[in-house]
């Protein structure tokens, strides 16, 4: 399974991109006016125009990569709605709605469910607190599910019942990496050759033990790369869109035959989100 680091060109020939369909939300109302994660500092002013320009570079890159990008209308008064990954979890045409932990984000749940319903998805109302793809990641046939800060453990059972798939609970312990998608990246979700990258210190001992056993060849990233939310990335199996400043992660990706594409979302980082947070996959 490990790809020869000595010959990245040959390795990259084996990496297969599959086009993605994603949902995004323009950060028209982005700002930081409350604090629900350690990255947010409401006393520091934000630059919405800059956030929009940076977000646009991500949107444009996805189009260049051949993705289908759908847009949901931003709602005034919901500054975090740009982080579309939290809007739900969508797989097999079924959209499991989000139920946010903090009231500030509460109305985003119904807004996203309305979009899913209007676009042909079978919408399921959530019972438990869960923040969608922020905490749920499809890897191979399984769903890895984060808990500890946001999504309730009970939501993992709801997921398992809804999709008839194995759901593996991973417990997060570092408040800076409060959603699973800030601590773990899916590089290749293909069953049989699934690959991930993660930040070991973000996980409780039993979860780390499980990750090490299941993914012995996984990339582990440096604290520096994690501190710019480098893991909060989006891959099509070959192209991996990451934070531009996550240079060592980019190097490791190249060694494995992936093509990293760096983007600068520094303004959105001030809300505690990066590339993946702005991206909800529709499957």
CA pair distance 275, 42, nearest whole angstrom: 21
Catalytic residue chosen out of the listed positions 156, 179, 261, 278: 179
CA pair distance 139, 149, nearest whole angstrom: 21
Asked whether the beta carbons of 249 and 30 are under 8 A apart, the reply is no
91 binds ligand ARG (CB under 6 A): no
Q: Which of residues 126-185 bind ligand ARG (CB under 6 A)?
A: 134, 179, 181-182
CA pair distance 283, 274, nearest whole angstrom: 21
Cβ atoms within 10 Å, residue 92: 12
27 binds ligand ARG (CB under 6 A): no
- Least distance from C-beta 223 to ligand ARG, angstroms? 18
CA pair distance 243, 228, nearest whole angstrom: 7
Residue 76, judged by CB atoms within 10 A of its CB (0-12, 13-18, 19+), counts as exposed
Contact residues for 111 (Cβ-Cβ < 8 A; gap 6+) = 72, 75, 78, 81, 87
Two tokens at 268? 């959105």
Give the residue, chosen from 228, 272, 281, 282, that forms a contact with ligand ARG under the rule CB under 6 A. 272
277 binds ligand ARG (CB under 6 A): yes
109 binds ligand ARG (CB under 6 A): no
237 binds ligand ARG (CB under 6 A): no
> Is 278 tagged catalytic?
no
- Least distance from C-beta 60 to ligand ARG, angstroms? 21
Dihedral Cα 223, 228, 231, 234, nearest 10 deg = -160
108 binds ligand ARG (CB under 6 A): no
> Is 25 tagged catalytic?
no
Candidate ranges 49-57, 116-124, 259-267, 271-279; the one touching ligand ARG (CB under 6 A): 271-279
Two tokens at 180? 């699973």
Catalytic residue chosen out of the listed positions 25, 156, 261, 277: 277
Site string for ligand ARG, 63-82 (x = CB under 6 A): -----------------x--
DSSP-based three-state secondary structure for 178: coil
86 binds ligand ARG (CB under 6 A): yes
- Least distance from C-beta 132 to ligand ARG, angstroms? 8
Chain residues that interact with ligand ARG, rule: CB under 6 A? 36-37, 40, 80, 83, 85-86, 105, 134, 179, 181-182, 271-273, 277
What is the set of active-site residues?
179, 277
């Amino acid at each position: 399974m490990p790809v020869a680091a000595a010959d990245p060109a040959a390795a990259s020939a084996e990496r297969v991109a599959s086009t993605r369909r994603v949902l995004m939300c323009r950060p028209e109302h982005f700002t930081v006016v409350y604090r629900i994660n350690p990255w947010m500092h409401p006393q520091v002013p934000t630059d919405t125009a800059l956030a929009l320009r940076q977000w646009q570079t991500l949107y444009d890159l996805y189009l260049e990569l051949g993705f289908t990008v759908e847009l949901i209308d931003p709602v005034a008064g919901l500054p975090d709605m740009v982080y579309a990954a939290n809007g739900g979890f969508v797989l097999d045409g079924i959209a499991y709605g989000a139920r946010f932990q903090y009231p500030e984000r509460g109305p985003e749940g119904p807004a996203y469910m309305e979009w899913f319903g209007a676009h042909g998805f079978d919408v399921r109302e959530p019972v438990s607190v869960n923040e969608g793809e922020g905490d749920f990641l499809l890897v191979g046939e399984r769903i890895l599910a984060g808990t500890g800060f946001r999504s309730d453990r009970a939501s993992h059972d709801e997921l398992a019942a809804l999709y008839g798939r194995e759901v593996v609970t991973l417990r997060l312990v570092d408040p800076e990496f409060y959603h699973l998608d800030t601590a773990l990246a899916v590089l290749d979700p293909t069953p049989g050759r699934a690959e991930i990258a993660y930040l070991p210190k973000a996980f409780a001992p039993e979860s780390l033990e499980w990750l090490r056993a299941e993914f012995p060849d996984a990339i582990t990233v440096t604290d520096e790369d994690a501190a710019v939310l480098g893991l909060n990335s989006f891959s099509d199996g070959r192209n991996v869109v990451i934070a531009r400043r996550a240079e060592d992660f980019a190097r490791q990706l190249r060694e494995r035959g992936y093509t990293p594409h760096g983007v600068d979302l520094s303004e959105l980082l001030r809300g505690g989100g990066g590339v993946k947070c702005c991206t909800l996959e529709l499957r």
